[in-house]
Every structure is written in C-alpha cells, then in structure tokens.
C-alpha cells in the first residue's frame, strides 16, 4: 500500500482507539500508536502492518504535556509528516462529587481534555505544513448529558466541544480542520462494568432508539471518514454517534 498520509492515534491499544487506527490504516495512513500498554500497542501496530500500512509505537502518559510534545516529534521524524491527529485517550473516574478531591478532578481534566490541547498544539506546525491537516477529538454524549458519579468526565467532555470549535476557528486559514466525534455507549473496556450487568444493559438499550450499543469498528469507520477528503468542508462541529440516544431525552 502506498503511504501518502500519517496519523497519530492516542489510546490506540484497544477498543475504539484500535478500531480508529485500523480504519485509518485501511485508507493508507501510516499510524503512530500512543498509549501506556506497550504490548497492546504492539498488537495494534502489527494489525496496521498486516493491512499494508506503516506503524510505530510510542509509550507515554497522556497526563504529561511533555509526552504529547515528544509524540508529535516522534511521528514527524518517524513518518515524515503529520496529517491527522486523533485525540482518543481518556479515562473515567467513578466518584461522588462530594468525595472527589480537587486534585483528582484536575488530574481527570488533564487526561481527558488538556492532553487534547497539548497534542494539537505540539502537532500544529507539522499539520499546517501538510496543507490538509485534521484534528479529531473524541468526545462523548457525556458532554451534554449528566452521568452518575462522573462529574470530572462529563466536564472534560463538555470542554472538548468548546476546544474543537475554538481551534477550528483559529486554524481554518492554516487548512487544518478540527472536529469532535462524540460516541454514545460502545462495547469497550470503559463501559464493560455497566454493560455486563444484564439489567443495566437493558435499561440503557431501551433509551437508545436503535436499541443497541455501538461496536468500536463503527466509531473507527466514522472517524476515518471525517478525516478523509470526502469530509473536507466539515470543521468546528461535534458529531454524535449514539444510535439516536440524545434525541430521546
């Protein structure tokens, strides 16, 4: 496969991140896979190579702004360019607001929101040089809906919406598109504790008009489309991929 673009995917070790990496690879992107689990990242990278694309692995912590800067440098040096950045890394801390410390709240904002700005900023010069850069921030329906005991996660995901609009406005003249893809419930490690309980799963599905949860591959395919030139006039928007859940509230 001829490589003509390069992408960064954070949180690429499994689930949605891995699905995004594979969908981008199928479009001919070289993929820099970022996360904390080297073994799982190497599995993703090997799957990318089996598709016929190039892959590299960079291990780090999204809570570290220095890691985000080093990731952008690694990608530019290893793959020669950066065309797409997918900010997918994230985590949920389950805690009652009254029992969460300010330090914990700040830590959650760092991984779920600030890391997205840090990587976008670090990759900006190379994205601008590509002439058709794309940043896709992975949000969530939790940015517009309250979820129990997830105050820091909901706040961060709401912030991603504003970050996306602002960066899209600021960088449009640099030919950089900035989008947010906000999934609903997806079969993943993050949601397994909720979805593995039959009663809770049924309660959730009854509130989704399509009466099912998404597969990671569906999110990956949507992200790859939004990163492609077929979506070249789309920027500054949040796209909800939730089976219609937000229409039923």
Residue 1 has pLDDT above 60, yes or no: no
pLDDT digits (tens, 9 = 90+) for 160-199: 999 999 999 999 999 999 999 999 989 877 777 778 888 8
Segments making up each domain of the chain, as ranges? 5-240
Which comes out higher in pLDDT, residue 87 or 1?
87
Nearest to residue 41, comparing CAs of 8, 5, 79? 8
Write out the two tokens for 181: 């893809």
pLDDT digits (tens, 9 = 90+) for 72-112: 999 999 999 999 999 999 988 889 999 999 999 999 999 99
pLDDT level of residue 245 (50, 70, 90 thresholds): confident
Domain 5-240 has CATH 3.40.47.10: no
Phi, psi for 203 (deg, rounded to 5): -60, -40
Of 153, 185, 239, 240, catalytic: 153
Contact between 16 and 183 (Cβ < 8 Å): yes
Residue 114 has pLDDT above 80, yes or no: yes
pLDDT digits (tens, 9 = 90+) for 133-168: 999 999 999 898 888 888 999 999 999 999 999 999
Contact between 120 and 87 (Cβ < 8 Å): yes
Residue 225 has pLDDT above 50, yes or no: yes
Average pLDDT over residues 203-210: 87
Name the burial class of residue 154, with classes exposed (0-12), middle (13-18) and buried (19+) by CB atoms within 10 angstroms of its CB: buried
Residue 2 has pLDDT above 60, yes or no: no
Q: What's the confidence (pLDDT) of residue 81?
A: 97
Mean pLDDT score across all residues of the chain: 94
Measured CA to CA, the distance from residue 217 to residue 101 in angstroms comes to 36
Give just the sign of the alpha carbon dihedral 127, 132, 137, 143: positive
- Whether 240 is catalytic: no
């Amino acid at each position: 496969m001829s490589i003509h673009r390069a992408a960064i995917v954070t949180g690429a070790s499994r689930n949605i991140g891995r699905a995004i990496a594979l969908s981008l690879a199928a479009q001919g992107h070289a993929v820099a896979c970022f996360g904390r689990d080297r073994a799982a990242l190497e599995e993703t990278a090997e799957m990318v190579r089996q598709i016929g694309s190039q892959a590299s692995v960079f291990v780090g912590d999204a809570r570290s702004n220095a890691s985000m800067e080093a990731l952008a440098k690694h990608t530019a040096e290893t793959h020669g360019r950066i065309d797409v950045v997918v900010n997918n890394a994230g985590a949920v801390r389950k805690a009652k607001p009254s029992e969460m410390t300010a330090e914990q709240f700040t830590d959650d904002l760092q991984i779920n929101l600030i890391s997205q700005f840090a990587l976008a900023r670090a990759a900006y010069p190379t994205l601008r040089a590509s002439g058709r850069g794309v940043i896709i921030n992975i949000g969530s329906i939790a940015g517009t809906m309250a979820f129990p005991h997830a105050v820091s996660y909901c706040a961060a995901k709401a912030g991603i919406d504003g970050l996306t609009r602002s960066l899209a406005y600021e960088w449009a003249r640099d030919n950089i598109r900035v989008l947010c893809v906000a999934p609903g419930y997806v079969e993943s490690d993050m949601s397994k504790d909720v979805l593995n309980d039959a009663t809770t799963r049924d309660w959730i599905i009854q509130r989704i008009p399509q009466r099912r949860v998404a597969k990671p591959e569906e999110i990956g395919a949507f992200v790859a489309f939004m990163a492609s030139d077929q979506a070249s006039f789309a920027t500054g928007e949040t796209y909800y991929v939730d089976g219609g859940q937000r229409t039923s509230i």
